[in-house]
């Protein structure tokens, strides 16, 4: 087989799926609206179930729901026969996925849910299927052409089901006003969590900040800098930022060393500041651009004021340690 045929075969499969996925628009109807409302008003968990490939898709959608703060887990219908059904409570919602809707393993889960009046959102391609007949909300998947050479392997059908699940999740997120700040709470680790950290999440505060009153002298500034180990001292007056002295400033002044020298003579009088809700990745970019190792952090309300109260300090080491 000519290796160029690999590309043509892949493109053919991709084009079939791209065309078939457009049929998802048919699903956005009254049933979809009812499903979103049911999820929004759920007082318990959103439990997903499915067998085979549909089960794998259900697991992924459940993981997406959990990642955006909607309590969710996957329940294997086959395992549910052996005690897992006890995880499902009346206040929960069951979202069951089966492309045919007639998978025999679903029967006992459906009977249990109907008996205890647990709400079911059924997702299947056949309206007359066992699943949709037992469901409170029936979402009918459009018939799609599979993208493999036999037209039988679940490809387009699983893709459109996954797309539907993502659309449910994103619609619920929008209604719950889910934000980047909330997202990082559920993703404290990894690249996503790191990139969503804000200045206020990584700054040092309180007694850890190297601050000194503006009327103190060179010797006292050196003492504070050595103690706090951030390479800077922030000069304050009545809690407001008055200036900044770096270790470089102090080293340069050593040739004219005078223990009682006033800090006002060599401090930076307009130090660069950032607001507390600045993304940490942007703070790192500023440090690189300005060729500095520390940033002073102030509150959002103070950021545009002439007089600013120091709220925290970010050092480049904190950003690097956090994997930003």
d(CA 269, CA 205): 21
d(CA 262, CA 219): 10
Q: What is the pLDDT along the chain (324 residues), one digit of tens a residue?
A: 577 789 999 999 999 999 999 999 999 999 999 999 999 999 989 999 998 899 999 999 999 898 877 888 898 887 765 556 667 888 999 999 999 888 888 888 898 888 889 999 999 999 999 999 999 999 999 999 999 999 999 999 999 999 999 999 999 988 887 655 555 555 455 545 555 577 787 788 888 888 888 888 777 888 888 888 888 889 888 888 888 888 787 777 666 666 666 777 778 788 888 888 888 778 888 888 888 888 889 888 888 788 888 888 888 877 766 565
**What structural domains and CATH numbers belong to the chain?**
4-178 (3.40.50.10490), 199-321 (3.10.580.10)
Q: Which two tokens stand for residue 190?
A: 């990894």
Would the pTM count as exceeding 0.75?
Answer: no
Q: Which residue has the tokens 């045929």?
A: 5
d(CA 60, CA 72): 11
**Residue 17 in contact with residue 155, Cβ under 8 Å?**
yes
Q: Under 8 Å CB-to-CB from 305, ≥6 apart: which residues?
A: none
Helix ranges (H only) for 104-203 are 107-115, 130-134, 156-175, 180-186, 190-195, 199-202
Backbone torsions φ then ψ of 309, nearest 5 degrees:
-90, 130
List beta partners, residue 243: 235
Backbone torsions φ then ψ of 52, nearest 5 degrees:
65, -135
Q: Which of 183, 190, 237, 247 is nearest to 215 (CA)?
A: 237
Longest Cα–Cα distance of the chain, Å, equals 91
């Amino acid at each position: 087989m000519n290796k160029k045929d690999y590309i043509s075969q892949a493109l053919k499969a991709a084009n079939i799926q791209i065309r078939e996925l457009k049929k998802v628009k048919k699903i956005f109807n009254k049933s979809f609206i009812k499903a979103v409302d049911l999820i929004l008003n759920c007082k318990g968990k959103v439990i997903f179930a499915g067998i085979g490939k549909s089960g794998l898709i259900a697991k992924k959608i459940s993981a997406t729901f959990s990642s955006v703060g909607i309590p969710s887990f996957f329940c294997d219908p086959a395992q549910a026969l052996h005690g897992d059904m006890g995880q499902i409570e009346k206040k929960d919602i069951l979202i069951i996925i089966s492309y045919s809707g007639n998978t025999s393993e679903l029967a006992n889960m459906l009977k249990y849910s109907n008996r205890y009046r647990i709400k079911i959102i059924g997702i299947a391609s056949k309206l007359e299927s066992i699943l949709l007949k037992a469901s409170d909300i029936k979402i009918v998947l459009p018939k799609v052409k599979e993208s493999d050479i036999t037209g039988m392997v679940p490809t387009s059908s699983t893709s459109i089901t996954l797309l539907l699940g993502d659309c449910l999740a994103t619609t619920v997120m929008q209604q719950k006003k889910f934000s980047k700040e909330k997202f990082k709470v559920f993703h404290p680790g990894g690249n996503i969590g790191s990139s969503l950290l804000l200045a206020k999440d990584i700054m040092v505060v309180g007694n850890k900040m190297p601050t000194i009153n503006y009327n103190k002298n060179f010797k006292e500034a050196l003492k504070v800098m050595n103690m706090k180990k951030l390479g800077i001292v922030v000069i304050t007056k009545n809690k407001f930022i008055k200036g900044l002295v770096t270790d470089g400033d102090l080293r340069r002044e050593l040739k004219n060393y005078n223990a009682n020298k006033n800090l006002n003579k060599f401090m930076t009088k307009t130090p660069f500041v950032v607001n507390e809700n600045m993304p940490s990745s942007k703070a790192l970019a500023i440090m690189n651009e300005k060729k500095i190792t520390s940033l002073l952090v102030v509150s959002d309300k103070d950021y545009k004021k002439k007089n600013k109260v120091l709220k925290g300090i970010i050092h480049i080491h904190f950003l690097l340690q956090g994997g930003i």
